[in-house]
Amino acid sequence: MIRHDSWLNSDELSKELMEFYMNEALENVGSVAIIDKDFRMVYINDKYADSLGIDKLKSLGKPVSEVIDNTNMTNVARTGHPELGVLYSRNGVNFIINKFPLTKDGEFMGIVGISTFQDDEKVASLRVRLDNLSKELNYYKEKNHRQNAAKYSIDDIISKNETMLHLKSLVYKVASTKSTVLISGESGTGKELFAHSLHALSNRSNMPFQRINCSTIPENLIESELFGYEKGSFTGALKEGKLGEFEVANGGTIMMDEVDSLPLALQSKLLRVLQEKEIRRIGGKETIDIDVRMIFTTNKDLLNMVNRGEFREDLYYRINVLNIAIPPLRERKEDIPGIVDRFIHKFNQELGMRVTGITSEAIKLLMSYSWPGNIRELENHIERAFIYSPGGMLGVEHFNLNNFVPVETSNEKAAVLNTDGRKLKDIVSEVEKKAIIEAMTKFSGNKKRAAEALGVDRSVFYEKMKKYEIT
Ligand SMILES: Nc1ncnc2c1ncn2[C@@H]1O[C@H](COP(=O)(O)OP(=O)(O)OP(=O)(O)O)[C@@H](O)[C@H]1O
Ligand SMILES: [Mg+2]
């Protein structure tokens, strides 16, 4: 039989155990401090002393204000009431503190203060930290992927379009110069292909080719990614410091993708790099000479952004020294058969299939579509056709016709007009066509309602639909 009363009867044991329990309790309830009626430290637990980084024994007897900052004890002393649930923050951690008056025979003897983590706040701040970490992780994952991706060469740019051939000859011409190049064009038109070719054909081809996507890199990382930092320049910085992309790419090429999404503050820093050809690491004193070929890409109308005050004008002129403006696929449909052939070859290898070609009807179908996602979209459709095809020829039946709504997808795209060397008539036609397609999409192909919405006669509407071959 267990005898519960055995140790309770022993005074010695009970004292020792009670002391143990009291101590453990005081260490575990949180950070505990006790002061006497004159606000001098009487007790502080290990946990609290450690977190403050103070010598526990030396603190005893000292005025509380010298040991613990931002502690207000006077309220409790004056009122004799506890003060509960007061929030305060130390080193970025939020605490909740409770203070209780201690009395003996009704006389004020001192105060005990107990503070604990404020859980919700702690969880919230942990979540923010996790969010940031996972953003950073994704960024580095993507960066790693990009850096290991196979490089393209100029022969990968398939085209027989006149403008494109001209652009390709331009690449040969300027590859070995140090000129800054701006490659513009809608998404999926092959900007990256051009950037690679420029580097591969240059005398820098054995030096690094660094790619930075200004739109996916977290804003709090951009500066340190570009310029690097000296050791210990900010909390969270690596001990050894870090090289920025400019230094890593020194002697080679940097491609800054989607430069339009660079925050204004960094635009001015970038401008300085382009002008001075030197950088300074974060927290660094000296400047470092930089010899890199800069390639920028954008799918936005930068001049428009300049006019709206969203992009620095001086930077615009600095990066727009030499513009490679890649036309969208719908303006060079003659390229479709050649590119499709290339993709068939590619997917045969990648998927281990034996597709022998594509029927002329299927090519016709592909050429009737407007390809808002350009070559990348074409690539996706070919890949999907592979999945539906058993091998042999790709035919109309292997393409998902339901998804072939020939429309522009975003308003942003509709707003960007390529006016370079084009007649007003052609520009107006383009806008007209877009408007009709949009209205038809909006009203699910109801011509009457689409015509009404655009405020034109139905006969005029029909005529225009025929003219622009909208079905
Ligand atoms: N002329 C071309 N011939 C063959 N393949 C091409 C051609 N142009 C682009 N591609 C292919 O199309 C895909 C998209 O090209 P790329 O990534 O260069 O487009 P992008 O303009 O950089 O697009 P984004 O603006 O979305 O970054 C790639 O797989 C690329 O290899
Ligand atoms: Mg790209």
For the chain, domains (ranges, CATH) are: 11-117 (3.30.450.20), 150-325 (3.40.50.300), 329-403 (1.10.8.60), 422-467 (1.10.10)
Nearest CA to ligand 1 atom 28: 376
3-state secondary structure of 257: strand
Position in ligand 1 atom list of the atom nearest CA 191: 21
Say if strands 253-257 and 293-298 run parallel, antiparallel, or are unpaired.
parallel
Residue written as token pair 């949180």: 30
Contacts from 127-135 at CB under 8 Å and sequence distance 24+? 132/218, 132/220, 135/218
How far does the centroid of ligand 2 lie from the alpha carbon of residue 424, in Å? Answer: 30
CB 392 within 8 A of CB 355: yes
How far does the centroid of ligand 1 lie from the alpha carbon of residue 315, in Å? Answer: 26
The pLDDT of residue 335 is 97
The closest of 312, 250, 260, 319 to 281, measured between CA atoms, is 250
The closest of 206, 208, 183 to 194, measured between CA atoms, is 183
Q: Which segments within 40-191 are labelled E, that is strand?
A: 41-44, 83-90, 93-104, 107-117, 181-184
The pLDDT of residue 127 is 64
What is the C-alpha separation between 127 and 119, in angstroms, rounded? 12
How far does the centroid of ligand 1 lie from the alpha carbon of residue 250, in Å? Answer: 26
The pLDDT of residue 414 is 42
**Taking the chain, what is the end-to-end CA distance rounded to the nearest angstrom?**
94
Sign of CA dihedral 234, 240, 245, 251: positive
How far does the centroid of ligand 1 lie from the alpha carbon of residue 389, in Å? Answer: 24
pLDDT tens across 106-119, in order? Answer: 888 999 988 876 55
pTM equals: 0.59
On the CB side of 114, how many CA atoms lie within 13 Å of its CA? Answer: 11
CB 374 within 8 A of CB 188: yes
Ligand 1 proximal residues by C-beta, below 6 Å: 156-159, 185, 187-193, 299, 339, 342, 375-376, 379
The closest of 330, 403, 338 to 368, measured between CA atoms, is 330
Ligand sitting nearest the alpha carbon of 156: 1
Mutate to test the pocket of ligand 1, among 145, 163, 193 (most ligand atoms within 8 A of CB): 193
The pLDDT of residue 306 is 95
Residue written as token pair 């020939």: 406
The rounded radius of gyration (Å) of the Cα atoms in the chain is 35
Position in ligand 1 atom list of the atom nearest CA 326: 21
Nearest CA to ligand 1 atom 18: 190
The pLDDT of residue 396 is 92
The pLDDT of residue 134 is 73
How far does the centroid of ligand 1 lie from the alpha carbon of residue 170, in Å? Answer: 18
Please identify every stretch of the chain with a pLDDT value under 70, giving residue numbers as ranges.
Answer: 1-13, 69-71, 87-95, 117-128, 141-150, 233-239, 401-420, 442
Mutate to test the pocket of ligand 1, among 197, 199, 376, 416 (most ligand atoms within 8 A of CB): 376
The pLDDT of residue 412 is 38
How far does the centroid of ligand 2 lie from the alpha carbon of residue 177, in Å? Answer: 22
Both tokens of 448, joined, read 């009457």
pLDDT tens across 367-399, in order? Answer: 999 998 999 999 999 998 988 888 899 999 998
Nearest CA to ligand 1 atom 30: 190
Both tokens of 162, joined, read 């006149």
Contacts from 350-357 at CB under 8 Å and sequence distance 24+? 351/386, 353/386, 353/389, 353/391, 354/391, 354/392, 355/386, 355/389, 355/391, 355/392, 355/393, 355/394, 356/391, 356/392, 356/393, 357/393, 357/394
